[in-house]
């Protein structure tokens, strides 16, 4: 059962990472920096910018710091996976989204020294697929950590999953749940 959760995590992470990198490559190839294409006038545009800072352009020029933060996030996801052995679909996919978001922007920072952003919802800073995945994944994880019974039973779940003797509770990945 845990293997299916690992496959779901990997699939989510790889699909989102591929969408992120492909969309950024397309924007870099087809749009000059600063160009904006209105999709819904005064609501949503595709606007190419290079972000040398964090979310919302905060702390520009600290590439090394942001690389370290992304690596810490990825190590943290590995720890959560080891410690809690998540199997519920929303938790598994939330970790995959968070990992994809961290990796997507990490790749940009390591390769180019900045992150390519292009989604512009007017009145909101420009962002990309990785940013959206990271935000959604973290929001789901916060809800999970605050309200899940899984967290309270983590040590027992981890030992049971390692021994592969754990029962299949309703809602696990691969058990026909959404």
CA distance 6 to 93: 10
> Known catalytic residues?
117, 131
Q: What is the pTM of this model?
A: 0.81
Q: What is the Cα Rg of the chain in Å?
A: 18
pLDDT tens digits along 36-78: 999 999 999 999 999 988 776 677 878 889 999 999 999 999 9
Share of the chain above pLDDT 90, in %: 64
Phi, psi values for residue 61, rounded to 5°: 85, 5
Query: What tokens were used for 12?
Result: 């989510």
CA distance 36 to 115: 17
SS3 49: strand
Residue 61: the pLDDT is 76
pLDDT tens digits along 82-100: 998 888 888 999 999 999 9
């Amino acid at each position: 059962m845990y293997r299916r959760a690992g496959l779901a995590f990997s699939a989510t992470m790889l699909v989102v990472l591929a969408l992120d990198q492909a969309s950024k490559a397309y924007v870099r190839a087809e749009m000059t920096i600063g160009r904006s294409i209105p999709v819904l006038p005064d609501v949503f545009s595709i606007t190419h910018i290079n972000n040398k800072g964090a979310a919302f352009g905060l702390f520009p020029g600290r590439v090394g710091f942001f690389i370290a933060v992304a690596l810490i996030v990825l190590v943290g996801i590995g720890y959560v996976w080891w410690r809690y052995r998540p199997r519920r679909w929303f938790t598994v996919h939330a970790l995959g989204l968070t990992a994809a978001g961290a990796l997507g922007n990490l790749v940009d920072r390591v390769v180019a020294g900045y992150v390519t952003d292009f989604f512009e919802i007017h009145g909101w800073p420009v962002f990309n697929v990785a940013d959206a995945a990271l935000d959604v994944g973290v929001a789901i994880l916060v809800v999970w950590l605050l309200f899940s019974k899984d967290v309270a039973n983590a040590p027992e779940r981890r030992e049971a999953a390692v021994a592969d003797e754990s029962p299949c509770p309703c809602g696990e990945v691969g058990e026909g749940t959404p």
